[in-house]
Structure 1
Amino acid sequence: MNLTHPHPDLRERRSPEQDASPERDLFAVTAATSATGSAVVRALLDHGAPVLAVGRDRERLHPYAERGARTHVSPLDDEERLTAAVADATGAFVMLAPGFIPDSPDFQAYQRAAIAAQAQAVRNAYRHGRLRRVVTLSGWAANHPGASGPVWGLERLERAIDATGVPAVHLRAGWFMENLLPDIAAIRATGATGGLLPPDLPLPMVATSDIGRVAAEFLRGVRPFVPGPVEVTGPADRTLAEAVRLIGAAVGRTARYEVRTADDVRAALTAGGFSDHMADGTVAMTLDVAHGRIRMRRPAGTIVTTTTLEEFVRAAVTTS
């Protein structure tokens, strides 16, 4: 590729301060417009840290540029563009996104490509640039060797980044509170929601905003950087029954949770546009949680965050 006249998507936006201070830290954040990636970007910018936000859509990156961040357009499976993105970074946040592609006939193939591209970009920056630390968004599914479906790639991402030689912390976050957003919409519309998970199953619910703050603290050196996996969870395990009651009270409806069969969930997913491959994988992943195969191990050093389920539901109902 001729870099004398780079592709427009490879051009970065710099503030005058960043141009004048080439030796400053620079934190590259991939999937910067995803829920967790955006939380990392905001947490870094809130503390005045220089950020390079990497995403697939320049328009969605524009709000970060307005706050002084550099921006870079790249999908996660494009090694060349990602290498250009992290070349000058001293720290990087990497993750797999999107979390699923509904109509994909082979989601694992996409994850393999995204893992390989990000790992190679990290390896290049570590060997030839200034990169000295990486934080990955992994997940509690990485605790289960047989994890499948959309979470198949999490532990593989950890291993690929570790193989680059760069010191890396892997955030094995629990069950995202943002998974409740479709339930909020359903309860607001009909008073009911449901799924494969038992309503009384305690889940390690955690808000992505808290995960973003933790990741930013590791990148900035606020937290001791000890390479390896670290679990991240909310202040208490909560059940879907509790969540549904809170949502119902917040939207002013009597709400109920209906347990559904695997066949019913699979049929609903395919009717909604999921490929058979993605529907099967999503059901398998959910059953792994329901049957306790995906679970938190809670070793010493587990990070407990602060956002409660009540706070999350109140904010989500207000803004949705």
Structure 2
Amino acid sequence: MQVVFGANGRAGGETARALIERGLDVRIVLRRAEQAAAWRDTGVQIAIARMDNEDEVAAALEGATGAFLLNPPPSVGNPHEQTEKIGTALAEAARRMQLPRAVVLSSVGAQHASGTGVITTLNRLETLLDGAATATMFLRPGYFVESWSEVAEAVITEGVLPTFMAPAQKIPMVSTIDVGRAAAQLLAEDWKGQRIVELGGPEDWSASDVAAAFARALGRPVTPAFVPPEQRAAMLAEAGIPKETADALLGMYDGIASGKVAFEPGVERRRGTVSLVAAVERILSARNSS
């Protein structure tokens, strides 16, 4: 039984679907019962658990041969306090249930304990979950291409791609489809101890590349629009993002600009197969169907 936490999110959902495609027994873990409706025809088992509750997490891991574990993106409160609570609950539950294998979602840049904003929470998550399962894999993907969906409205209506990244700076990016496939593949592989695997798309991309992909998908010009650092906090506040969360996100973009959000030398590295244009077309398709 493969247990997937965060199945209603991007990476967790893709991991669950990739495991289902492999014909494996899957149990997804959701926070609320009403989230289960979308999964009822897939044949998965469904567990309800708060990820900061050790007993509920342990119950969800009952009988698991492997699990996909993560720390959900912060939405309210202090991201570091959230990580401490969730990471501790996941680790203690995994030890209690003697979980044989875990693939833990982390991020490119998680080798740094500071200077990367919200990604530093994943450095802490790796520390908390080190050795929690008999075999533990930290999967460090690059920036999710699907994160650009948050500015898709401006792309469609104004022909501009707002970006906190310098338009020409190429960084590791990857579609969450590839993240799910990689996590499922790693859960199916035979490995022991602790490992780290970093994951990028077929190549590194820039905001200019993303704008070009949107332009190709839409059939009209799209121009990257760099947002200066002094304007970013106000923009996030206007979008309703709480200050503690916004500060952590802005710190990540500072880390990208400084070059700290990058592959770690000497670490195992894999590449996905989903092209930038295909991922962008999927963003637009999802908007059209919603």
Superposed displacement of residue 242, structure 1: 1.4
Look up the match of 1:121.
93
Residue among 242, 246, 253 paired with 1:286: 253
Q: Once structures 1 and 2 are overlaid, which stretch shifts more, 228-237 or 138-147?
A: 138-147
Query: Which one-letter code corresponds to 2:257 in the other structure?
Result: A
Q: Distance in 1 between matches of 2:27 and 2:64?
A: 8
Q: Could you say if the C-alpha distance between residues 260 and 58 of structure 1 is closer, same or farther in structure 2, counting changes exceeding 3 Å?
A: same
Q: Distance in 1 between matches of 2:179 and 2:235?
A: 30
Look up the match of 1:301.
268
Q: Could you say if the C-alpha distance between residues 57 and 27 of structure 1 is closer, same or farther in structure 2, counting changes exceeding 3 Å?
A: same
Q: Distance in 2 between matches of 1:64 and 1:274?
A: 29
Superposed displacement of residue 164, structure 1: 2.5
Look up the match of 2:194.
227
Look up the match of 1:78.
53
Give TM-score scaled by structure 1 length. Answer: 0.84
Look up the match of 1:4.
none
Q: Once structures 1 and 2 are overlaid, which stretch shifts more, 148-157 or 49-58?
A: 148-157
1:227-254 CA deviation, whole Å, 9 max, x = no partner? 3211111110111101102212322332
Look up the match of 1:205.
173
Query: Which one-letter code corresponds to 1:95 in the other structure?
Result: L
Query: Which one-letter code corresponds to 2:168 in the other structure?
Result: D
Q: Distance in 2 between matches of 1:32 and 1:156?
A: 22
Look up the match of 1:3.
none
Superposed displacement of residue 270, structure 1: 1.2
Q: Which 5+ residue runs of structure 2 have no aligned equivalent?
A: none
Q: Distance in 1 between matches of 2:219 and 2:14?
A: 29
Look up the match of 1:64.
39
Look up the match of 2:74.
100
Superposed displacement of residue 225, structure 1: 5.4
Q: Distance in 2 between matches of 1:120 and 1:68?
A: 29
Give TM-score scaled by structure 2 length. Answer: 0.93
Q: Distance in 2 between matches of 1:230 and 1:143?
A: 12
Superposed displacement of residue 318, structure 1: 2.7
Look up the match of 1:21.
none
1:103-135 CA deviation, whole Å, 9 max, x = no partner? x24221112111111111111111xxxx31110
1:279-308 CA deviation, whole Å, 9 max, x = no partner? 222111111011102111253631111111
Look up the match of 2:117.
149
Q: Distance in 2 between matches of 1:162 and 1:169?
A: 9
Query: Which one-letter code corresponds to 1:199 in the other structure?
Result: P
Superposed displacement of residue 224, structure 1: 4.8
- Aligned pairs for 1:1-320 within 5 A: 26-97=1-72, 99-101=73-75, 104-126=76-98, 131-164=99-132, 166-221=134-189, 224=191, 227-297=194-264, 299=266, 301-320=268-287
Q: Distance in 1 between matches of 2:42 and 2:248?
A: 39
Q: Distance in 1 between matches of 2:258 and 2:78?
A: 25
RMSD of aligned C-alpha atoms? 1.7
Q: Percent identity?
A: 26
Tell me the secondary structure at the aligned position of residue 68 of structure 1: coil
Q: Which 5+ residue runs of structure 1 have no aligned equivalent?
A: 1-25
Q: Could you say if the C-alpha distance between residues 196 and 152 of structure 1 is closer, same or farther in structure 2, counting changes exceeding 3 Å?
A: same
Q: Could you say if the C-alpha distance between residues 152 and 301 of structure 1 is closer, same or farther in structure 2, counting changes exceeding 3 Å?
A: closer
In the alignment, is the contact (CA less than 8 A) between 1:195 and 1:265 conserved in 2?
no
Superposed displacement of residue 159, structure 1: 1.7
| Bigger radius of gyration among the two | 1
Tell me the secondary structure at the aligned position of residue 230 of structure 1: strand
